[in-house]
Amino acid sequence: MGTGPHSRIPLNNGTAIPVLGLGTWPIANGEPTARAVAQALRLGYRHIDTAKMYGNEEGVGDGVRASGVPRSEVWITTKLATGDQPHARRAFDESLARLRLEYVDLYLVHWPAPGLVTRTWSAMEALCGDGRCRAIGVSNHSIDQLAEILRMAKIRPAVNQIKFSPFGFDQELADYCRREGIAVEAYSPLTKGRNLRNRTLGEVARRYGKSPAQILIRWALQKQTIALPKSEQAGHMEENAAVFDFEIAADDMARLDALGT
């Protein structure tokens, strides 16, 4: 899995994505987002997850520039908002303009829109080719919606970003994605902080001398997902990135797997 937050795994289009990303929802646009992004990059993160719907793309671009880390070393994902699906190209151009970047590494359909799934995917495919959009994918898509896309796709989705933690995950969907060569990104990997005091999680954390948050992120990585914990606190960011020096044993993985049932 690699040795740090910069570790990458290959995607189906020949690119490679850092396995740990900073989630940026719901950090306020402007200074708060710029500060969090620059901080994360200085701590070794190389992957930032944003969306038009988060309203903080300007802050993300500013944070990347302020960090001093070369653009080429940073993976930036943004997303097509649902209401923009009928005019994806314009929405993409506007996102790039807000980010003030020449390209994004990954552009995702944020949510499937009933009746528009394949039409929107064609529009996403049309964004590839001029170097401004290096990979395309989806978020919150079901097996049926992915199958619909795969039946007509000229370019397969590189990722499906879904809610994924021991307290709630769809193993069948993750297995389907793996079989189809679609990487899974885990959002809300810390359950928005809601389950960090869970007793079983605490017991596992104590066994490894790690925090509950670190166990949740490590669990997501060992499930072969790309983990996207959000934090705007340097201490938490550092803690969340210190997950590459231990391994959760199979019996503890099974204990964690059972938390959602």
Ligand X SMILES: NC(=O)c1ccc[n+]([C@@H]2O[C@H](COP(=O)([O-])OP(=O)(O)OC[C@H]3O[C@@H](n4cnc5c(N)ncnc54)[C@H](OP(=O)(O)O)[C@@H]3O)[C@@H](O)[C@H]2O)c1
Binding site for ligand X (CB under 6 A): 23-25, 49, 110, 139-140, 161, 187-193, 196, 211, 213, 228-233, 236, 239-240
SS3 at position 22: strand
**Active-site annotation holder among 54, 107, 176, 187:** 54
The residue (of 67 and 191) whose beta carbon lies closer to ligand X is 191
Extended strands (E) in 52-151: 75-80, 106-109, 136-139
- Output the smallest distance, CB 130 to ligand X, in A: 25
Q: Measure the CA–CA gap between 234 and 240, rounded to whole angstroms.
A: 10
The question of whether 54 is a catalytic residue gets the answer yes
In the beta sheet, which residues pair with residue 106?
A: 77
Residue closest to ligand X (Cβ): 23
Q: Measure the CA–CA gap between 94 and 117, rounded to whole angstroms.
A: 21
Buried b (16+ CB within 10 A) or exposed e, 32-60: ebbbbbbbbbebbbbbbbbbbbbbbbbbb
- Output the smallest distance, CB 78 to ligand X, in A: 10
Residues annotated catalytic, as ranges: 54
